[in-house]
Every structure is written in C-alpha cells, then in structure tokens.
C-alpha cells in the first residue's frame, strides 16, 4: 500500500516524445489535406493533378514519420 509510482519524469518525457513524433505528421497531413480541399474547390477540373501533387508531398512526411518511430523504438528497446 505504501508503493508509489516514482517514474513521473520519465513517463512525461516518454509521453511528450511520442506525442511529438505522432502529432507533427498528423498536423502536416491536416494542413496538406485542407490546402488540397481548398484548391479542389476552386479548380475542380484539376483534381487529379492536385491529388498527385499532395501525394508527392505526403511521401516525405510518411517516410520521416516511419523513421522517427523506428528510432524511438530502437532507443527504447536497448
């Protein structure tokens, strides 16, 4: 009954790092998607070209997100 959780600082660091690693790509996807929807609303005949352009912008976001999660896993697994 006298046991208390003593790893508060480590827990908050873990939660903060994970939130940044997951949150930044989410924000980037939301910004790119919102921008694409606005452009498609203005120029509906260029929809396919705009979607391809956004897809090419999302590719580095996806690769970076995967790399950061992989590094996070490797650091914590040692």
Query: 24-66 pLDDT, tens per residue?
Result: 999 999 999 999 999 999 999 999 999 999 999 999 999 999 9
28, 64 Cβ separation under 8 angstroms: no
Domain at 44, CATH number: 1.20.20
Task: Classify residue 22: in a domain, yes or no.
Answer: yes
Q: Tell me: pLDDT of 1 over 80.
A: no
Confidence of residue 17 (pLDDT cuts 50, 70, 90): very high
Residue 1 included in any domain: no
Supply the pLDDT for residue 3: 78
Residue 76 has pLDDT above 70, yes or no: yes
Residue 27 to residue 61: CA distance in whole angstroms: 10
Q: Which domain holds residue 38?
A: 14-77
pLDDT at residue 2 in the model: 57
Is 2 part of a structural domain of the chain?
Answer: no
Q: Is 8 contained in some domain?
A: no
């Amino acid at each position: 009954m006298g046991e208390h959780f003593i790893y508060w600082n480590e827990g908050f660091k873990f939660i903060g790092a994970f939130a940044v690693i997951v949150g930044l790509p989410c924000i980037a996807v939301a910004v790119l998607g919102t921008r694409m929807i606005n452009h498609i609303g203005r120029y509906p005949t260029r929809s396919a070209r705009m979607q391809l352009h956004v897809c090419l912008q999302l590719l580095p976001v996806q690769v970076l997100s995967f790399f950061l999660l992989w590094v996070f896993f490797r650091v914590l697994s040692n």
